[in-house]
Amino acid sequence: MAFNDSTESAGPAMPRWETIVFDAAGAADFAPASALDALEADVARAARSLETRECPGADRLGWLDPEAACPAAERAAIREEAERARADCDAYVVIGIGGSYLGARAVREALRGHADGPELFFAGTGLHAGATARLLRDLRDRDVRVCAISKSGTTLEPALALRFWREFLERKYGRAGAARRITAVTDAHRGALRALAVAAGWRVFAVPDDVGGRFSVLTPVGLLPLAVAGLDIDALVAGATSMRQACREPRLRDNPAHFYAAHRHVLGARGFRTEILSAFCEDLRWLQEWWKQLFGESEGQRGRGLFPAAATMTADLHSLGQYIQDGPRDLFETFLCARETAPALRVPAVEFPADPEADDGLGALAGRSLDAINALAWEGVRQAHVAGGVPCLELTLDRLDPRTVGGLIHFFEKAVAVSGLLLGVNPFEQPGVEAYKREVSRLLGRR
Protein backbone atom coordinates (compact mmCIF):
# COMPACT_ATOMS: atom_id res chain seq x y z
CA MET A 1 0.00 0.00 0.00
CA ALA A 2 1.38 3.41 -0.96
CA PHE A 3 0.35 6.72 0.53
CA ASN A 4 0.04 10.32 -0.55
CA ASP A 5 2.22 12.93 1.10
CA SER A 6 0.82 14.59 4.21
CA THR A 7 1.98 16.93 6.92
CA GLU A 8 1.40 16.59 10.65
CA SER A 9 -1.10 19.46 10.62
CA ALA A 10 -3.12 17.76 7.89
CA GLY A 11 -3.44 14.54 9.86
CA PRO A 12 -2.04 11.08 9.13
CA ALA A 13 -1.19 9.72 5.69
CA MET A 14 -4.19 8.60 3.69
CA PRO A 15 -4.70 5.31 1.85
CA ARG A 16 -4.01 5.09 -1.88
CA TRP A 17 -5.09 2.25 -4.13
CA GLU A 18 -3.36 2.25 -7.51
CA THR A 19 -5.02 5.24 -9.21
CA ILE A 20 -7.29 6.40 -6.35
CA VAL A 21 -6.33 8.44 -3.29
CA PHE A 22 -8.64 8.95 -0.30
CA ASP A 23 -7.73 12.11 1.59
CA ALA A 24 -9.47 13.25 4.77
CA ALA A 25 -7.27 16.24 5.62
CA GLY A 26 -10.21 18.59 5.05
CA ALA A 27 -12.15 16.85 7.83
CA ALA A 28 -9.35 16.64 10.41
CA ASP A 29 -10.82 19.38 12.61
CA PHE A 30 -14.23 17.70 12.60
CA ALA A 31 -13.25 14.01 12.82
CA PRO A 32 -10.16 14.03 15.08
CA ALA A 33 -7.72 11.14 15.24
CA SER A 34 -8.88 10.24 18.75
CA ALA A 35 -12.46 9.65 17.54
CA LEU A 36 -11.25 7.52 14.65
CA ASP A 37 -8.97 5.51 16.93
CA ALA A 38 -11.89 4.86 19.29
CA LEU A 39 -13.88 3.46 16.36
CA GLU A 40 -11.17 1.20 14.93
CA ALA A 41 -12.19 -1.92 16.88
CA ASP A 42 -15.84 -1.53 15.85
CA VAL A 43 -14.84 -1.14 12.19
CA ALA A 44 -12.67 -4.24 12.40
CA ARG A 45 -15.51 -6.18 14.02
CA ALA A 46 -17.96 -5.14 11.29
CA ALA A 47 -15.48 -6.04 8.55
CA ARG A 48 -14.75 -9.40 10.14
CA SER A 49 -18.45 -10.22 10.28
CA LEU A 50 -18.63 -9.63 6.52
CA GLU A 51 -15.70 -11.90 5.79
CA THR A 52 -16.99 -14.68 8.06
CA ARG A 53 -20.58 -14.29 6.79
CA GLU A 54 -21.87 -13.74 10.33
CA CYS A 55 -23.44 -10.29 9.80
CA PRO A 56 -27.08 -9.43 9.08
CA GLY A 57 -27.77 -10.12 5.42
CA ALA A 58 -25.02 -12.75 5.23
CA ASP A 59 -26.83 -14.44 2.34
CA ARG A 60 -26.34 -11.31 0.18
CA LEU A 61 -22.56 -11.04 0.21
CA GLY A 62 -21.69 -12.48 -3.20
CA TRP A 63 -20.40 -9.07 -4.36
CA LEU A 64 -17.55 -9.27 -1.82
CA ASP A 65 -15.58 -11.48 -4.23
CA PRO A 66 -15.92 -9.89 -7.68
CA GLU A 67 -14.32 -12.84 -9.47
CA ALA A 68 -16.78 -15.28 -7.90
CA ALA A 69 -19.76 -12.99 -8.55
CA CYS A 70 -19.10 -13.24 -12.29
CA PRO A 71 -16.47 -15.89 -13.08
CA ALA A 72 -14.29 -15.85 -16.19
CA ALA A 73 -16.42 -18.47 -17.97
CA GLU A 74 -19.56 -16.39 -17.48
CA ARG A 75 -17.78 -13.25 -18.65
CA ALA A 76 -16.76 -15.14 -21.79
CA ALA A 77 -20.42 -16.03 -22.42
CA ILE A 78 -21.34 -12.38 -21.86
CA ARG A 79 -18.74 -11.27 -24.42
CA GLU A 80 -20.12 -13.77 -26.96
CA GLU A 81 -23.64 -12.45 -26.46
CA ALA A 82 -22.34 -8.90 -26.72
CA GLU A 83 -20.67 -9.68 -30.04
CA ARG A 84 -23.95 -11.01 -31.42
CA ALA A 85 -25.69 -7.82 -30.34
CA ARG A 86 -22.96 -5.57 -31.74
CA ALA A 87 -23.25 -7.33 -35.10
CA ASP A 88 -26.89 -6.47 -35.75
CA CYS A 89 -27.94 -3.49 -33.62
CA ASP A 90 -26.96 0.13 -33.15
CA ALA A 91 -29.39 0.79 -30.28
CA TYR A 92 -29.45 -1.42 -27.17
CA VAL A 93 -32.39 -0.80 -24.85
CA VAL A 94 -31.77 -1.77 -21.23
CA ILE A 95 -35.02 -2.26 -19.29
CA GLY A 96 -34.68 -2.03 -15.52
CA ILE A 97 -35.03 0.21 -12.51
CA GLY A 98 -32.82 0.96 -9.51
CA GLY A 99 -29.92 -1.43 -9.24
CA SER A 100 -30.99 -3.13 -12.46
CA TYR A 101 -29.83 -0.16 -14.53
CA LEU A 102 -28.09 2.51 -12.43
CA GLY A 103 -24.76 0.68 -12.23
CA ALA A 104 -24.54 0.04 -15.96
CA ARG A 105 -25.53 3.61 -16.74
CA ALA A 106 -23.02 4.99 -14.23
CA VAL A 107 -20.12 3.01 -15.67
CA ARG A 108 -21.12 3.67 -19.28
CA GLU A 109 -21.23 7.43 -18.72
CA ALA A 110 -17.99 7.47 -16.73
CA LEU A 111 -16.18 5.57 -19.50
CA ARG A 112 -17.66 7.15 -22.60
CA GLY A 113 -14.22 7.59 -24.09
CA HIS A 114 -13.57 3.83 -23.83
CA ALA A 115 -16.84 2.64 -25.41
CA ASP A 116 -17.13 1.84 -29.13
CA GLY A 117 -20.30 -0.25 -29.33
CA PRO A 118 -24.00 0.40 -29.90
CA GLU A 119 -25.58 3.26 -28.02
CA LEU A 120 -27.27 2.28 -24.76
CA PHE A 121 -30.77 3.52 -23.98
CA PHE A 122 -32.60 2.96 -20.70
CA ALA A 123 -36.29 2.18 -20.28
CA GLY A 124 -38.50 1.07 -17.42
CA THR A 125 -37.01 3.66 -15.07
CA GLY A 126 -40.35 5.39 -14.50
CA LEU A 127 -43.98 5.65 -15.57
CA HIS A 128 -43.80 8.84 -17.64
CA ALA A 129 -45.83 8.19 -20.79
CA GLY A 130 -44.18 11.03 -22.70
CA ALA A 131 -40.67 9.68 -22.18
CA THR A 132 -41.74 6.17 -23.18
CA ALA A 133 -43.48 7.41 -26.33
CA ARG A 134 -40.49 9.56 -27.34
CA LEU A 135 -38.00 6.71 -27.02
CA LEU A 136 -40.23 4.33 -28.99
CA ARG A 137 -40.55 6.98 -31.69
CA ASP A 138 -36.86 7.93 -31.72
CA LEU A 139 -35.72 4.32 -32.22
CA ARG A 140 -38.28 3.26 -34.82
CA ASP A 141 -35.73 3.50 -37.65
CA ARG A 142 -32.83 2.03 -35.66
CA ASP A 143 -31.67 -1.58 -35.38
CA VAL A 144 -32.75 -2.40 -31.84
CA ARG A 145 -32.08 -5.10 -29.28
CA VAL A 146 -33.57 -5.26 -25.78
CA CYS A 147 -32.10 -6.46 -22.49
CA ALA A 148 -34.75 -6.97 -19.78
CA ILE A 149 -33.29 -6.97 -16.27
CA SER A 150 -35.42 -7.91 -13.29
CA LYS A 151 -35.01 -10.46 -10.52
CA SER A 152 -38.74 -11.15 -10.35
CA GLY A 153 -40.16 -9.86 -13.59
CA THR A 154 -43.11 -8.32 -11.74
CA THR A 155 -41.68 -4.92 -10.72
CA LEU A 156 -44.17 -2.43 -12.12
CA GLU A 157 -42.01 -0.06 -14.17
CA PRO A 158 -39.78 -2.54 -16.05
CA ALA A 159 -42.61 -5.07 -16.47
CA LEU A 160 -44.73 -2.45 -18.23
CA ALA A 161 -41.77 -1.27 -20.30
CA LEU A 162 -41.08 -4.81 -21.47
CA ARG A 163 -44.62 -5.04 -22.83
CA PHE A 164 -44.09 -1.92 -24.94
CA TRP A 165 -40.66 -2.98 -26.23
CA ARG A 166 -41.70 -6.56 -26.93
CA GLU A 167 -44.57 -5.23 -29.05
CA PHE A 168 -42.15 -2.79 -30.76
CA LEU A 169 -39.74 -5.60 -31.71
CA GLU A 170 -42.47 -7.99 -32.85
CA ARG A 171 -43.94 -5.35 -35.15
CA LYS A 172 -40.52 -4.54 -36.56
CA TYR A 173 -38.96 -8.02 -36.85
CA GLY A 174 -41.82 -10.49 -36.39
CA ARG A 175 -42.26 -12.79 -33.40
CA ALA A 176 -39.33 -15.08 -34.22
CA GLY A 177 -37.06 -12.17 -35.06
CA ALA A 178 -38.01 -10.38 -31.85
CA ALA A 179 -37.20 -13.48 -29.81
CA ARG A 180 -33.65 -13.41 -31.18
CA ARG A 181 -33.31 -9.78 -30.13
CA ILE A 182 -34.40 -10.01 -26.48
CA THR A 183 -32.11 -11.09 -23.66
CA ALA A 184 -33.25 -11.50 -20.05
CA VAL A 185 -31.13 -11.12 -16.93
CA THR A 186 -33.18 -12.55 -14.10
CA ASP A 187 -33.42 -15.07 -11.28
CA ALA A 188 -31.53 -18.28 -11.86
CA HIS A 189 -34.43 -20.55 -10.87
CA ARG A 190 -37.83 -18.88 -10.73
CA GLY A 191 -39.93 -15.78 -11.38
CA ALA A 192 -42.16 -14.33 -14.07
CA LEU A 193 -39.36 -13.01 -16.28
CA ARG A 194 -37.50 -16.33 -16.27
CA ALA A 195 -40.66 -18.25 -17.13
CA LEU A 196 -41.49 -15.80 -19.94
CA ALA A 197 -37.94 -15.91 -21.32
CA VAL A 198 -37.82 -19.71 -21.36
CA ALA A 199 -41.24 -19.94 -23.01
CA ALA A 200 -40.35 -17.32 -25.65
CA GLY A 201 -36.88 -18.71 -26.36
CA TRP A 202 -34.93 -15.66 -25.22
CA ARG A 203 -31.28 -15.83 -24.20
CA VAL A 204 -31.07 -15.80 -20.37
CA PHE A 205 -28.35 -14.77 -17.92
CA ALA A 206 -28.72 -15.22 -14.17
CA VAL A 207 -28.61 -12.70 -11.37
CA PRO A 208 -26.56 -14.36 -8.61
CA ASP A 209 -28.76 -15.51 -5.73
CA ASP A 210 -26.44 -13.89 -3.19
CA VAL A 211 -26.16 -10.40 -4.75
CA GLY A 212 -28.76 -7.67 -4.22
CA GLY A 213 -29.70 -5.22 -6.95
CA ARG A 214 -27.71 -2.19 -5.84
CA PHE A 215 -24.57 -4.34 -5.47
CA SER A 216 -25.01 -6.08 -8.83
CA VAL A 217 -23.19 -3.87 -11.34
CA LEU A 218 -20.25 -6.31 -11.62
CA THR A 219 -22.52 -9.28 -12.36
CA PRO A 220 -24.39 -9.96 -15.64
CA VAL A 221 -26.82 -7.22 -14.57
CA GLY A 222 -24.27 -4.54 -15.40
CA LEU A 223 -21.59 -6.40 -17.33
CA LEU A 224 -23.81 -7.53 -20.22
CA PRO A 225 -24.93 -4.01 -21.26
CA LEU A 226 -21.40 -2.71 -20.68
CA ALA A 227 -19.90 -5.42 -22.89
CA VAL A 228 -22.39 -4.53 -25.62
CA ALA A 229 -21.25 -0.91 -25.29
CA GLY A 230 -17.71 -2.06 -25.99
CA LEU A 231 -16.20 -1.73 -22.53
CA ASP A 232 -13.55 -4.06 -21.10
CA ILE A 233 -15.53 -6.01 -18.50
CA ASP A 234 -12.50 -8.07 -17.48
CA ALA A 235 -10.67 -4.87 -16.52
CA LEU A 236 -13.67 -3.72 -14.47
CA VAL A 237 -13.68 -6.97 -12.50
CA ALA A 238 -9.88 -6.95 -12.15
CA GLY A 239 -9.98 -3.45 -10.69
CA ALA A 240 -12.65 -4.45 -8.21
CA THR A 241 -10.69 -7.56 -7.25
CA SER A 242 -7.56 -5.52 -6.61
CA MET A 243 -9.53 -3.02 -4.51
CA ARG A 244 -10.98 -5.94 -2.54
CA GLN A 245 -7.47 -6.86 -1.45
CA ALA A 246 -6.71 -3.27 -0.44
CA CYS A 247 -9.96 -3.19 1.55
CA ARG A 248 -8.97 -6.24 3.60
CA GLU A 249 -6.05 -4.44 5.26
CA PRO A 250 -6.53 -4.81 9.03
CA ARG A 251 -5.31 -1.37 10.14
CA LEU A 252 -7.89 1.36 9.75
CA ARG A 253 -5.52 3.88 8.18
CA ASP A 254 -4.29 1.33 5.66
CA ASN A 255 -7.76 0.50 4.41
CA PRO A 256 -9.39 3.09 2.09
CA ALA A 257 -13.00 1.87 2.38
CA HIS A 258 -12.84 1.41 6.15
CA PHE A 259 -11.22 4.80 6.65
CA TYR A 260 -13.98 6.43 4.59
CA ALA A 261 -16.69 4.56 6.52
CA ALA A 262 -15.13 5.57 9.84
CA HIS A 263 -15.05 9.26 8.87
CA ARG A 264 -18.69 9.13 7.78
CA HIS A 265 -19.68 7.53 11.08
CA VAL A 266 -17.79 10.04 13.21
CA LEU A 267 -19.12 13.01 11.25
CA GLY A 268 -22.69 11.67 11.43
CA ALA A 269 -22.42 11.24 15.19
CA ARG A 270 -21.29 14.88 15.45
CA GLY A 271 -24.38 16.22 13.71
CA PHE A 272 -23.32 16.25 10.06
CA ARG A 273 -26.34 14.36 8.78
CA THR A 274 -26.08 15.01 5.01
CA GLU A 275 -23.26 13.88 2.75
CA ILE A 276 -22.86 15.64 -0.58
CA LEU A 277 -20.90 13.74 -3.20
CA SER A 278 -19.48 16.64 -5.23
CA ALA A 279 -18.00 15.52 -8.53
CA PHE A 280 -15.71 17.78 -10.53
CA CYS A 281 -16.36 15.72 -13.66
CA GLU A 282 -19.64 15.66 -15.57
CA ASP A 283 -18.98 12.09 -16.73
CA LEU A 284 -19.42 10.98 -13.11
CA ARG A 285 -22.96 12.36 -12.74
CA TRP A 286 -24.61 8.94 -13.13
CA LEU A 287 -22.09 7.37 -10.79
CA GLN A 288 -23.34 9.89 -8.24
CA GLU A 289 -26.87 8.65 -8.88
CA TRP A 290 -25.76 5.04 -8.34
CA TRP A 291 -23.96 6.12 -5.14
CA LYS A 292 -27.15 7.81 -3.87
CA GLN A 293 -29.10 4.57 -4.22
CA LEU A 294 -26.31 2.45 -2.76
CA PHE A 295 -25.96 4.54 0.39
CA GLY A 296 -29.52 5.77 0.77
CA GLU A 297 -31.15 2.35 0.41
CA SER A 298 -28.51 0.57 2.49
CA GLU A 299 -28.37 2.97 5.44
CA GLY A 300 -31.75 4.68 5.57
CA GLN A 301 -33.51 2.40 8.03
CA ARG A 302 -35.00 2.66 11.53
CA GLY A 303 -34.51 6.43 11.60
CA ARG A 304 -30.78 6.10 10.92
CA GLY A 305 -28.37 6.90 8.12
CA LEU A 306 -26.93 9.94 6.39
CA PHE A 307 -28.88 11.65 3.63
CA PRO A 308 -26.97 11.17 0.34
CA ALA A 309 -27.02 14.19 -1.97
CA ALA A 310 -24.98 15.10 -5.03
CA ALA A 311 -23.61 18.17 -6.75
CA THR A 312 -21.83 18.48 -10.08
CA MET A 313 -19.12 21.10 -9.95
CA THR A 314 -18.47 23.73 -10.97
CA ALA A 315 -22.00 24.20 -12.35
CA ASP A 316 -23.70 23.62 -8.99
CA LEU A 317 -21.48 26.22 -7.33
CA HIS A 318 -23.73 28.70 -9.12
CA SER A 319 -26.89 27.18 -7.62
CA LEU A 320 -26.09 25.21 -4.44
CA GLY A 321 -22.77 26.87 -3.68
CA GLN A 322 -24.24 29.57 -1.46
CA TYR A 323 -26.13 27.03 0.65
CA ILE A 324 -23.10 24.78 1.06
CA GLN A 325 -20.85 27.70 1.97
CA ASP A 326 -23.15 29.60 4.34
CA GLY A 327 -26.14 27.37 5.12
CA PRO A 328 -26.74 25.15 8.17
CA ARG A 329 -23.62 23.35 9.36
CA ASP A 330 -25.21 19.89 9.20
CA LEU A 331 -23.57 18.64 6.01
CA PHE A 332 -20.21 17.45 4.80
CA GLU A 333 -18.76 16.91 1.34
CA THR A 334 -16.94 14.09 -0.33
CA PHE A 335 -15.22 15.41 -3.43
CA LEU A 336 -14.92 12.97 -6.32
CA CYS A 337 -12.33 14.28 -8.74
CA ALA A 338 -10.68 12.91 -11.88
CA ARG A 339 -7.31 14.47 -12.67
CA GLU A 340 -7.14 13.56 -16.37
CA THR A 341 -10.19 13.41 -18.63
CA ALA A 342 -8.90 15.12 -21.80
CA PRO A 343 -5.35 16.33 -21.06
CA ALA A 344 -4.77 17.51 -24.62
CA LEU A 345 -7.56 20.10 -24.38
CA ARG A 346 -5.75 23.35 -23.71
CA VAL A 347 -7.02 26.91 -23.48
CA PRO A 348 -6.51 28.66 -26.83
CA ALA A 349 -4.83 32.02 -27.11
CA VAL A 350 -7.15 34.62 -28.67
CA GLU A 351 -6.92 38.25 -29.62
CA PHE A 352 -9.30 40.83 -28.21
CA PRO A 353 -10.26 44.25 -29.60
CA ALA A 354 -8.31 47.26 -28.44
CA ASP A 355 -11.08 48.13 -25.96
CA PRO A 356 -9.79 46.81 -22.58
CA GLU A 357 -13.36 46.16 -21.41
CA ALA A 358 -13.64 43.38 -24.00
CA ASP A 359 -10.75 41.41 -22.45
CA ASP A 360 -11.93 38.42 -20.35
CA GLY A 361 -8.83 38.65 -18.14
CA LEU A 362 -7.87 35.01 -18.73
CA GLY A 363 -4.89 35.51 -21.00
CA ALA A 364 -2.55 33.97 -18.42
CA LEU A 365 -4.39 30.64 -18.78
CA ALA A 366 -3.64 30.29 -22.51
CA GLY A 367 -1.90 27.00 -23.18
CA ARG A 368 -2.90 25.40 -19.88
CA SER A 369 -4.96 22.20 -19.86
CA LEU A 370 -8.60 22.48 -18.84
CA ASP A 371 -8.11 19.49 -16.52
CA ALA A 372 -5.38 21.37 -14.62
CA ILE A 373 -7.62 24.42 -14.28
CA ASN A 374 -10.44 22.21 -13.02
CA ALA A 375 -8.09 20.76 -10.38
CA LEU A 376 -7.28 24.25 -9.14
CA ALA A 377 -11.00 25.04 -8.99
CA TRP A 378 -11.73 22.04 -6.78
CA GLU A 379 -8.83 22.90 -4.48
CA GLY A 380 -10.15 26.45 -4.16
CA VAL A 381 -13.65 25.18 -3.42
CA ARG A 382 -12.34 22.71 -0.85
CA GLN A 383 -10.39 25.41 0.96
CA ALA A 384 -13.38 27.78 0.97
CA HIS A 385 -15.78 25.13 2.25
CA VAL A 386 -13.43 23.90 4.99
CA ALA A 387 -12.93 27.51 6.10
CA GLY A 388 -16.72 27.87 6.13
CA GLY A 389 -17.13 24.95 8.53
CA VAL A 390 -17.82 22.14 6.05
CA PRO A 391 -15.85 18.92 6.62
CA CYS A 392 -14.41 17.81 3.30
CA LEU A 393 -13.22 14.37 2.22
CA GLU A 394 -11.61 13.70 -1.16
CA LEU A 395 -11.47 10.78 -3.56
CA THR A 396 -9.03 11.64 -6.33
CA LEU A 397 -8.84 9.44 -9.44
CA ASP A 398 -5.71 9.75 -11.53
CA ARG A 399 -7.77 8.92 -14.60
CA LEU A 400 -11.03 7.34 -15.73
CA ASP A 401 -10.48 3.85 -17.15
CA PRO A 402 -12.24 0.49 -16.61
CA ARG A 403 -9.82 -0.74 -13.94
CA THR A 404 -10.09 2.46 -11.92
CA VAL A 405 -13.89 2.56 -12.14
CA GLY A 406 -14.11 -1.12 -11.14
CA GLY A 407 -11.98 -0.34 -8.09
CA LEU A 408 -14.15 2.66 -7.21
CA ILE A 409 -17.31 0.53 -7.35
CA HIS A 410 -15.94 -2.02 -4.89
CA PHE A 411 -14.60 0.79 -2.67
CA PHE A 412 -18.09 2.24 -2.25
CA GLU A 413 -19.73 -1.17 -1.83
CA LYS A 414 -17.36 -2.21 0.94
CA ALA A 415 -17.62 1.18 2.61
CA VAL A 416 -21.43 1.17 2.73
CA ALA A 417 -21.51 -2.40 4.05
CA VAL A 418 -19.23 -1.47 6.96
CA SER A 419 -21.00 1.85 7.47
CA GLY A 420 -24.42 0.22 7.69
CA LEU A 421 -23.21 -2.37 10.18
CA LEU A 422 -21.73 0.41 12.33
CA LEU A 423 -25.19 1.98 12.40
CA GLY A 424 -26.74 -1.28 13.54
CA VAL A 425 -28.82 -1.87 10.40
CA ASN A 426 -28.85 -4.60 7.78
CA PRO A 427 -27.33 -2.83 4.75
CA PHE A 428 -28.57 -5.51 2.37
CA GLU A 429 -32.32 -5.09 2.82
CA GLN A 430 -34.73 -2.25 1.98
CA PRO A 431 -37.95 -2.63 3.98
CA GLY A 432 -39.12 0.88 3.12
CA VAL A 433 -39.06 0.13 -0.59
CA GLU A 434 -41.22 -2.92 -0.04
CA ALA A 435 -43.73 -0.75 1.87
CA TYR A 436 -44.33 1.62 -1.04
CA LYS A 437 -44.55 -1.28 -3.49
CA ARG A 438 -47.34 -2.85 -1.43
CA GLU A 439 -49.34 0.40 -1.43
CA VAL A 440 -48.94 0.95 -5.18
CA SER A 441 -49.93 -2.67 -5.87
CA ARG A 442 -53.03 -2.22 -3.70
CA LEU A 443 -54.07 0.91 -5.61
CA LEU A 444 -53.53 -0.84 -8.95
CA GLY A 445 -55.52 -3.87 -7.82
CA ARG A 446 -52.63 -6.23 -8.46
CA ARG A 447 -52.83 -9.67 -6.96
Residues annotated as catalytic are 297, 318, 437
d(CA 367, CA 318): 26
d(CA 98, CA 85): 24
Residue 363: partners with Cβ closer than 8 Å, 6 or more residues away: 349
Q: Report the side by side order of strands in the sheet with 15-17.
A: 2-3, 15-17, 20-23, 392-399, 331-340, 274-279, 307-312
**Chain-centroid distance, C-alpha 420:** 17
3-state secondary structure 158-218: HHHHHHHHHHHHHHHHHHHHHHCCEEEEEECCCCHHHHHHHHHCCEEEEECCCCCHHHCCC
| Cα torsion 286, 372, 232, 181: sign | positive
First to last CA, the chain: 54
| Cα torsion 346, 347, 348, 349: sign | negative
Alpha helix stretches (DSSP H) within 275-401:
285-299, 321-326, 370-387
